[in-house]
Amino acid sequence: MSAPAAADRIKRIAAAAALPLAGGAAAALLAALWPGSDQDAGAAELARCLLAGAGAAALAAGGAWLERRRWRRRVSAWIVQAGKLAEGPEREEEGPEAASAAPGPDRSPATLEEQLMADALRRGAGMIRQLRTTRRLMVAEVAHELRSPLAVIRASLDNALYEQRPLPPERLAVLSEQAAAMSRLVQDLQDLSLSESGRLRIEKEWFEPAAAAASAIELLQPEADDRGVELVAELDVKLLLYGDEKRFSQLLLNLLGNAIRHARSRVTVSASASGAELVLRVRDDGWGFEPEEAEQLFQRYYRKPTYADGSPAPRGLGLGLAVVRGIAQAHDGSVEVESRVGEGAAFTARLPLFRE
């Protein structure tokens, strides 16, 4: 093959492969690579190389298209599963495992990235299912907690209407106590929601924490008496706290109520100053708990099912201590707990005595 013919052939091959060899570039390339009589053989070799390169490029483009198609199908499957989760079906059903990266008829084994994505979606689905279960249990528990006081109030009012006579003072006191219990429950639900969204309002003023603690003890004294629990106060009456007195009382009521429910015979409340902090401590002589349970106690809806001796723990919604932490943090303070099995528990709230 002559040099001009070889150059022309190279140009046609280059054009087919979309290579920019215009004008005399093909001939120059041929002359540089295969001078003299070797140009015929060189042209054929170069043609084969160009054709091989064009084929490799076509295969690469096809492989990339197939990979994009495979990824699009898998991402679409994940999107469908995420949409099902967002729609909120209450029943257990096949979750993101259906969209996992397992091999299928037109699918290749999963890559590490795909498997990680599928695992993350599965974990998210598990968390959503757990939240739904918690929500159902919480609604059932709220209904249970409200049913008892409402039943007492309704029965008393029905009897009063049937007998056409006023209720005696002691019966009115019982109704007032039941109404207060419902009010505290509703308040805890509202405050927990506000605290978790960062919208819990704190209206600060100077007040005496010892006086607020004495009022809380007086309010819960009947419940303590019913359970045979002695309430002991060790309060520094000279202390002044710049904070929200209503929220402080709510914090103390929740700590006291929790301690009374779990105590065997005694609950001690103390308030003192440590540096620039108020240290409020509520200690009970109940069964206590394992140290690893400490953080769980402040999680909403957490309820301890049984004590160390196997006896059942009192029912509750698991809201009170979560509200306590929210109120303490809203005051730029903290709350912690110490306990040993069989030795009771001590909850300690630390609040700055003064902070704007």
Is the pTM of the predicted complex or chain greater than 0.75?
no
User: Is the per-residue pLDDT at 161 higher than 90?
Assistant: no
Work out the burial of residue 178: count CB atoms within 10 Å of its CB; fewer than 13 is exposed, 13-18 middle, 19 or more buried. middle
Q: Which of 79-83, 101-105, 107-111 has the lowest mean pLDDT?
A: 101-105
Let me know: does 186 contact 220? Beta carbons within 8 Å: no
Per-residue pLDDT band at 60 (split at 50, 70, 90):
confident
For residues 21-38, give the mean pLDDT.
50
pLDDT in tens, 85-101: 555 554 444 444 444 44
Where exactly are the structural domains of the chain? 3-87, 205-352
For residues 296-316, give the mean pLDDT.
74
pLDDT of residue 187: 83
Tell me how many degrees the CA angle 172-175-177 measures, rounded to the nearest 5: 110
Q: Which of 24-33, 186-195, 253-262 has the lowest mean pLDDT?
A: 24-33
pLDDT of residue 133: 75
pLDDT of residue 68: 73
Gyration radius of the chain over CA positions: 38
Q: Which residue has the higher pLDDT, 95 or 151?
A: 151
Mean pLDDT rounded to a whole number for the chain? 77
Q: Which of 91-100, 140-149, 222-231, 343-352 has the lowest mean pLDDT?
A: 91-100
Query: b/e per residue, 109-145, with b = 16+ CB within 10 A?
Result: ebeeebeebbeebbeebeeebeeeeeeeebeebeeeb
Sort strands 345-352 and 277-284 into parallel, antiparallel or unpaired: antiparallel
What are the helix (H) ranges across the chain? Answer: 3-16, 25-33, 39-87, 112-163, 169-196, 209-227, 245-262, 320-330
pLDDT in tens, 202-229: 999 999 999 999 999 998 998 999 999 9
Fold of 205-352: Heat Shock Protein 90 (3.30.565)
Quote the DSSP letter at residue 291: G
pLDDT of residue 251: 95
Q: Which residue has the higher pLDDT, 5 or 91?
A: 5
